[in-house]
Amino acid sequence: MYEQLTHYLNSQIKVSEEELKIIHSFFRPLKLKKNELLVTHGQTSQRTFFVGKGCLRIFFINEEGQDATRYFAFEDQFATALVSFITGEPSEEFIQAAEDSELLYITHKDFYHLLEVIPQWEKFYRHYLEKAYVNNTKRLMSFLTQDATEKYRQLLNENPIIVRRLPNKMVASYLNISQETLSRLKSKV
């Protein structure tokens, strides 16, 4: 799994063998069964996860107990409760294994430590933030301007893996529509 991580890091930044070793030393492995929770509501000390195998789901829940999914991270992607990670405030986001998963994680403290000792890590974080921002803003646009059918069509085009690998319930939660509506869409579109 550390090889996957190396590969991913090399695609983003230029780091020496030496630096790579340091980075690796802060990442620890973790196995999760489907549905296990990694971050619970209100938790403050955040970790950042790298998905080696499986899938993580980041979501929030409103007062009536309905959940809305913000992001799915599959193999070779990072995932974190980023708002809480940035602000240090208790998380309103949960992280859950959507499938049996194998992960690497780094603590918030160590992540910030890397920002100081590995100059390229600042760049890595910047790219991470930029991608997260672009992704979120596109989702925001989608919710503001598209109806259920359009959202589903776009998902099929841009992220078919979500539809293929995950149960309707989670896809519906990602699109912020009901399972019934998604089911009806599937039979029509």
Whose Cβ is closer to DNA: residue 112's or residue 143's?
Answer: 143
Structure tokens at 71: 């992001």
Q: Select from 82, 3, 87 the least CA-distant residue to 47.
A: 82
Q: How far is the CB of 77 from DNA (least distance, A)?
A: 23
The C-alpha atoms of residue 150 and residue 154 are separated, in whole angstroms, by 6
The answer to whether residue 180 forms part of the interface with DNA (CB under 7 A) is yes
Q: How far is the CB of 116 from a second copy (least distance, A)?
A: 12
The residue within the footprint of DNA, chosen from 17, 18, 147, 164 (CB under 7 A), is: 147
CB atoms within 10 A of CB 76: 14
Q: How far is the CB of 172 from a second copy (least distance, A)?
A: 12
Mapped onto helix, strand or coil, the DSSP state of residue 147 is coil
Structure tokens at 93: 């986001």
Whose Cβ is closer to a second copy: residue 2's or residue 60's?
Answer: 60
Characterise 100 by phi-psi region: left (phi > 0), alpha (psi -120 to 50), beta (else).
beta
Burial classification of residue 174, based on how many CB atoms lie within 10 Å of its CB (0-12 exposed, 13-18 middle, 19 or more buried)? buried
Q: How far is the CB of 110 from DNA (least distance, A)?
A: 35
Q: How far is the CB of 69 from a second copy (least distance, A)?
A: 9
Whose Cβ is closer to DNA: residue 35's or residue 87's?
Answer: 35
Could you list the residues that contact a second copy (CB under 8 A)?
A: 60, 62-63, 66, 68, 70, 82-83, 86-87, 92, 122-123, 125-126, 129-130, 132-134, 136-141, 143-146, 176
Contacts of 63 (CB under 8 A, 6+ apart): none
Q: Which residues bind DNA (CB under 7 A)?
A: 64, 66, 147-149, 167-169, 176-184, 186-187
